[in-house]
Chain A
Amino acid sequence: MSYEKRGLRPFDVLDKTQTLLNQLVKLQSPPIPDGFLPPMGSQGLEPLGIDSNAGSIAGANGTLTLDQEQFRTNAVGLYFGVNDEDWRHLIDTLDDELSDIFGRSSLAPVSIVVTATNTRLKQQVLLLRETYGQFVQSDSWRRLLVPAGDTADRARPFRMPQDGCIVTVQFVLHEDLPVSERQPGRPWRKGSWLAKIRIKVSAARGSGLAPRFLTEQLRRRLGVGDRSSSYVDLRADTSGLHLVTDLSEVMSVFIDEEALKKATELKPNGEFATPAGEALVLRWVMDTYRALVHAFRFDDRLDEFDPDVDEHRHTYLYGLLQQVSEYGDVTIDEALNILKDQPNRFVALIENSLDLNGADGEILRLRK
């Protein structure tokens, strides 16, 4: 085949092992102290064996949140479950699935590879590599990924707290399968990954798209007049907008100071103080989405966005497509096509995902 097909993986993969990685694998810093045994069945996201204020734990697609100092000095541990039972379950499942795919698990040239990546600086380092044999022969579900200490030999992405990093845990083929062993659907190419999870490690505070006050001075600077109520300012060139991960880097939402304060007043139970306040907030939210959808449409490189490509899955656009797809009964690829060809329908699908019809009904006291 001249190139890999798009969409579904082009070969058999470790589906059950993938499910277990999603459920069991945890990254914790500082690691579980030696000798500490978590209680059976504990799968909570509280750091194990340490003060929860002094460390963090995260699973697949989660974020290990540390402060700057901890990021640069703490040891980091990786766990395949939190007890021997989890560990046996994982390696038995792995053994079964590799046998299904390769005939015998011992014939599978498979390794577990754990890396840390700084995506902005395009730097990746290997933290752990074990062949399948080494992995299953270990009698421990614990691995030390990063030793403690801010030293020159500390894994480089763990010396960059401002950027943070992504830890990837994956089972891959470490060499080509011999030609005689190749069969349709059986992965054979070196590097083919069969199951994978990612965990983000962050030392930066999140910066969402919190609205800013549209003050008199800003009205003048932005040139939006005295009587406007809000303004969505897209600061960056739209070219390549599909790659943005944090909207606040490229976009600001300004709302009249008095209106924003009044509209966001809440009752003690957390509901909006007035229906008008809720309606206005929904309007600002949709105005922002509308501006964003049209900005994506003007991204002259939008055709390069591929939902099947790993790095595109960390983008804001991918999250938006997922949101629309989940609630709108369309696939992610279809959602992308709707965004390109029918932007107003895409906006309607965003409304659908937010149940604006229901919200309108509540505001107008309609029976729905």
Chain B
Amino acid sequence: MSFEHPRLEPAQVRDFIDKVVSRGSINEDAVRGFLVRLGVGEIEEAAAIDRVVRDIVDDCGTLVGQALEPVEARHCRAVFDVLDPIPPSALGDVAFWSFLAVRHFWPFIARRQHAAWTAVRGQPGNPDEPQSERQKLERYVIGKDHYQLPLRMYLRAQAVRDVDDFSLTEIDGGGTDFWRSQVLGVRTSLYPSVARSVARAQADQQLDIDGQRPPGRRVNRLRANIEFIDYSDNEAMSLIEPLWLVTDEDRAAAEAKRKAKKAAG
């Protein structure tokens, strides 16, 4: 089977991590050299993608890790705009996304997923678990799901865009976990009107991560019974808004759970 787009299989990504990232002095030439040795070519959009990544990295300043969540949020639209015109046969291929991460997005991955990146280079954030941080890095690079950095930025923009309005990508979700657990990791992101409603409700309620879990479960259960393909924003919001808040029952359940955990030692 020949492909019209460049691709990297998971084993090749692992090689990239082992042979390029772990050496410490990663740069553009080292990455290109690695890809040339594998015979992996370029794509037409390379220059445009590089410009987007350069803007993101410039915006990072000296920050790393979770502190870059707002930067990630600000640039979701640019990532979506530059990637969405790529042919669907490429976008619908995990190995193409892995190529995008290795060839173009590594400078942002190095900053945004700094703990995992430095762990691979022999400086684990948690010395007791160097292997687990190394494994996390694979997940941020291999394009199989919404953990991967460029894919999650693309999906976040796609999930809440309203024609040309991408402002909901920047709402305060209380951390990346909101997007991962309540929007991108569940079928909510399949229905933009529902995803926008969840984002708007979260912007309104400003729930923290623990506070989002019970409403998230309620939305998931609602969604199990409803096909939302024909829902307008108003219709979706009328269902989501009453669910996206912390109820007295939620507080009581959280307290009971906390006590049970404490009792169990």
Contacts and interface: CB of A to CB of B under 8 A. Distances in A.
Interface stretch (A45-53, A186-194, A253-261): A186-194
Given A159-B92, A311-B187, A3 B159 contact: no
Given A190-B235, A191-B231, A237-B135, A121 B221 contact: no
Contacts of B217: 304, 306
A160 B88 CA distance: 6
Nearest to A203: B1
Interface string B1-18: 100000000100000000
B-side interface size class: 35 or more
Given A115-B229, A122-B159, A162-B93, A309 B220 contact: yes
Contacts of B95: 162
A343 interface: no
A129 to B, nearest CB: 9
B221 A306 contact: yes
B83 to A, nearest CB: 11
Interface in A177-208: 189-193
A11 B222 CA distance: 13
A2 B94 contact: no
Contacts of B224: 4, 306, 308-310
Interface string B135-163: 11011000011010000000100110000
B178 to A, nearest CB: 13
B177 to A, nearest CB: 9
Interface in A154-174: 156-157, 159-163, 170, 172, 174
Interface of B is mostly: helix
Contacts of A123: 158, 190
B62 interface: no
A143 B4 CA distance: 32
A37 interface: no
A28 interface: no
B185 A113 contact: no
Contacts of A26: none
A301 interface: yes
B80 to A, nearest CB: 12
B92 A122 contact: no
A318 to B, nearest CB: 13
Contacts of A323: none
A163 B7 CA distance: 14
Given A191-B230, A237-B135, A4 B190 contact: no
B221 A4 contact: yes
A104 interface: no
A222 B119 CA distance: 17
Interface of A: 2-6, 9-11, 68, 72, 113, 115, 117-118, 120-124, 126, 156-157, 159-163, 170, 172, 174, 189-193, 234-237, 240, 243, 249, 301, 303-304, 306, 308-311
30 contacts: A2-B243, A4-B224, A6-B221, A9-B225, A72-B89, A117-B190, A118-B92, A121-B158, A122-B155, A122-B189, A124-B190, A124-B191, A126-B229, A159-B89, A160-B89, A162-B94, A162-B95, A163-B92, A190-B235, A191-B227, A191-B228, A191-B231, A193-B226, A235-B135, A235-B138, A240-B185, A304-B181, A306-B217, A306-B221, A310-B187
A-B pairs, 9 with minimum CB distance: A160-B92, A162-B93, A159-B88, A191-B226, A163-B92, A122-B189, A3-B218, A172-B227, A191-B227
Interface of B: 1, 10, 87-89, 91-96, 132, 135-136, 138-139, 144-145, 147, 155, 158-159, 180-181, 184-187, 189-191, 213, 216-218, 220-231, 235, 242-243
Given A122-B190, A304-B181, 8 more contacts: A4-B225, A11-B225, A113-B229, A121-B91, A124-B191, A160-B92, A249-B144, A301-B181
